[in-house]
Amino acid sequence: MRRFLIDTDTASDDAVALIMALRSPDVAVEALTIVAGNVPLDRCIQNALYTTELCGSPVPVHAGLARPIFGEPVTAEIVHGQDGLGDIGLDLTGRSAAEGHAVDVLVETICGSPGEITLVTLGPLSNVGTALLREPELAGAVKHCYIMGGTGRLPGNITPAAEFNVYVDPEAARIVFESGMPITMVGWDVSWTCAFVDPAGEARLRAIDTPYSDFVCDIQATLTEFVEGMLGIRGFDLPDPLAMAVALDPSIAETEDRYVEVVAGDGPARGQTIVDHLGVTGKAPNASVVTHVPPEAFMALLCETLS
Ligand code: RIB
Ligand code: CA
């Protein structure tokens, strides 16, 4: 069994990624650690608990940071709905998180089993960055860290330069990318081109006809409206599920080892992940940057976990 720990700002794409991991027979999900992002922390917690309940999974869900290390919180209800799961009327109240703060769970779980825990991050890196400040040894203890974040090639999706997860907490992201942790970066550029579900793809997912397949499509209601309004096309992109697919089967990803610098502070480039594609900085690579995943490989893996 591979042991996963997933850090998430649970909203409509995160929930799909969680189902993929929870329903993978060779993966033991140790815990979910929750970070504020798409929607405020409490909604992320409820969404994560709803999703684990849907999967019949007893995985503990731990509350983490309610805001970024610096700066004001940034949310994305316009993309995911007020409740984060498409505002389709799900009962997303009344569930309780487990005892223990997410930062402590990250440190204790990973440092308690050196070399054994695969960390998958699906939201802003506030929890992981703080955990690294609390225990720098975490970077060397984690088996591998798959990050949905940044963009290997522009544009960004929240500003022209930045992808949402890194933009919400670039200071935390800078700590993570500079920590020496073994990182695979799955950027929004790749998810937009390799994990976009068009109407035919949605029909393929719904044809699986399980409680999971309808759920993962239904909760994309707000995202579908957002994409049509922004780009005039039908469908939805699945960045977190793509990152999870790469974590579940790294062989599907084409990667390049690159030095990645995160822009913190103020200014138009805040949150940008500057990828040194040509090696001009002379700095050693700090991430494997995913450049492509065959869309069919992604869809096949997604369909398998939903069946
Ligand atoms: O930019 C996409 C990322 O931001 C995804 O993780 C999505 O869930 C949001 O958190
Ligand atoms: Ca997310």
Tell me the pLDDT tens digit for each residue of 247-302: 999 999 999 999 999 999 999 999 999 999 999 999 999 999 999 999 999 999 99
Nearest CA to ligand 1 atom 10: 123
Closest ligand to Cα 151? 1
Residue with tokens 């790469």: 246
- Residue 71: its pLDDT value, please? 85
Are 79 and 38 in contact, with CB atoms under 8 Å apart?
A: yes
CB within 8 A of 25, min separation 6: which ones? none
Q: Which of 7, 9, 169, 240 is catalytic?
A: 9
In the structure, what pLDDT confidence band is assigned to residue 154 with cuts at 50, 70 and 90? confident
In terms of C-beta density within 10 A (0-12 exposed, 13-18 middle, 19 or more buried), how is residue 303 classed? middle
Summarised one tens digit per residue, pLDDT across range 84-106 is 999 999 999 999 999 999 999 99
CA distance 5 to 32: 6
Percent of the chain at pLDDT exceeding 70: 100
- The Å distance, Cα 251 to ligand 2 centre, comes to 23
- Residue 296: its pLDDT value, please? 98
The pick from 164, 168, 188, 191 for probing ligand 1's pocket by mutation, whose C-beta has the most ligand atoms within 8 angstroms, reads 164
pLDDT higher than 90, residue 153: yes
Compute the C-alpha angle 204/249/10, nearest 5°.
Answer: 70
In terms of C-beta density within 10 A (0-12 exposed, 13-18 middle, 19 or more buried), how is residue 144 classed? middle
Summarised one tens digit per residue, pLDDT across range 160-212 is 999 999 999 999 999 999 999 999 999 999 999 999 999 999 999 999 999 99
pTM: 0.98
Nearest CA to ligand 1 atom 1: 164
pLDDT higher than 90, residue 2: yes
Are 67 and 36 in contact, with CB atoms under 8 Å apart?
A: yes
CA distance 8 to 223: 18
pLDDT higher than 90, residue 20: yes
- The Å distance, Cα 281 to ligand 2 centre, comes to 30
Summarised one tens digit per residue, pLDDT across range 207-251 is 999 999 999 999 999 999 999 999 999 999 999 999 999 999 999
Return the structure tokens found at 22: 């929870």
CA distance 245 to 159: 26
Beta strands in the chain (DSSP E): 2-8, 27-34, 61-63, 117-121, 144-148, 183-186, 196-197, 236-237, 254-258, 260-262, 273-275, 287-292
The 3-class SS string of 14-72 reads: HHHHHHHHHCCCCEEEEEEEECCCCCCHHHHHHHHHHHHHHCCCCCCEEECCCCCCCCC
Active site residue 214: no
Cis check for the bond before 155: say yes or no (omega within 30 of 0).
yes
* CA 228 to each of CA 28, 206, 235: distance values in angstroms, whole numbers, following the listed order: 37, 20, 8
